[in-house]
Amino acid sequence: MSRMSAYVNKKQDMMFIPFITAGDPCEEATVELACVLQSAGANALELGIPYSDPLADGPVIQKASKRALSHGMSLLQSLRLVKKIRLRGVKIPVIIFTYFNLLLQLGEENFFREAKENEIDGLLVPDLPYEESRELAASCSMHGISLISLVAPTTSEKRLRKIGADAQGFLYCVSSLGVTGVRRRFHPDVFPFLERVRRACDLPVAVGFGISSGAQVEELREHADGYIVGSAIVSEVGKRADRLKNEDTRFEALQEISDFLNKNLLAKHKVVE
């Protein structure tokens, strides 16, 4: 059984899949954050690769990318950072969230070699449409990596069935149109959309974009298998960026982030095997 299927499956009770930006605000903080998130019950980790033109990301994650880029974080460094995360005891799947231009620059052969060496489990490329991703999907399958697909409320029924049939790992459902960012409530159309997705795909369904409270998680419980949280966590990292960079204050800042997660974002009765 792959690490992805062992941790990301329908047997879990509302899977928690957090997102952080690699190298934000420094490499060691990223490693420590990954450990905190696993301890909090994360089923998988999305590791965002900082990029100068992140089309799918809102202001919070754009600022995180800027902080990481300011000290030279790259796709290659981010992949190698996962090895450090593994050495610190993180066993959950790690999914690389990157834009296609960065993959092109590194090269597919180099990417898959580094992914194997550094124990990467998944890949998500938000600016690569399904129709243009088939070659990459085949390469991912060959190398034991799940290419995560995105669907949105505007996805047609015909296209949803195609994407659902070919999905790997889990299906990422975008809860709203536009870029990432904290939102107070879901649009009512989200729930019938999620029911359509579940009929079209046998894999776990996880919802992202805008989730920032336990109340939202509970709203999703009957409609999805998991939830993805990015901006709400990255915002807390940003508030403590200077303290996270400082070895003397890092532990306290990490504890505050852990407390924030437990108070605001973690589903009740989670099970991670």
The pLDDT tens digits for 175-212 are 865 444 444 567 778 899 999 999 999 999 999 988 98
Q: What are phi and psi of 62, to 5 degrees?
A: -60, -45
Q: Annotated catalytic sites, by residue? A: 46, 57
CATH superfamily of 3-264: Aldolase class I (3.20.20.70)
The three-class DSSP label of residue 132 is: helix
pLDDT score recorded for residue 269: 42
pLDDT at residue number 176: 67
Residue ranges per domain, the chain?
A: 3-264
Are 186 and 219 contacting, i.e. CB atoms less than 8 angstroms apart? yes
Report residues of the chain scoring pLDDT below 70: 56, 176-185, 267-273
Maximum Cα–Cα distance for the chain, whole Å?
55
3-state secondary structure of 17: strand
Distance of alpha carbon 83 from alpha carbon 250, whole angstroms: 21
Q: Say what the pLDDT of residue 272 is.
A: 42
- pLDDT tens, 71-85? 999 999 999 999 999
> Under a CB-based contact definition with an 8 Å cutoff, are residues 262 and 48 in contact?
no
Beta strands in 35-91 (DSSP E): 45-48
User: Which pLDDT value is given to residue 182?
Assistant: 46
State residue 181's pLDDT score: 43
Joined tokens for residue 243: 């303290």
**What is the pTM (predicted TM-score) of this model?**
0.93
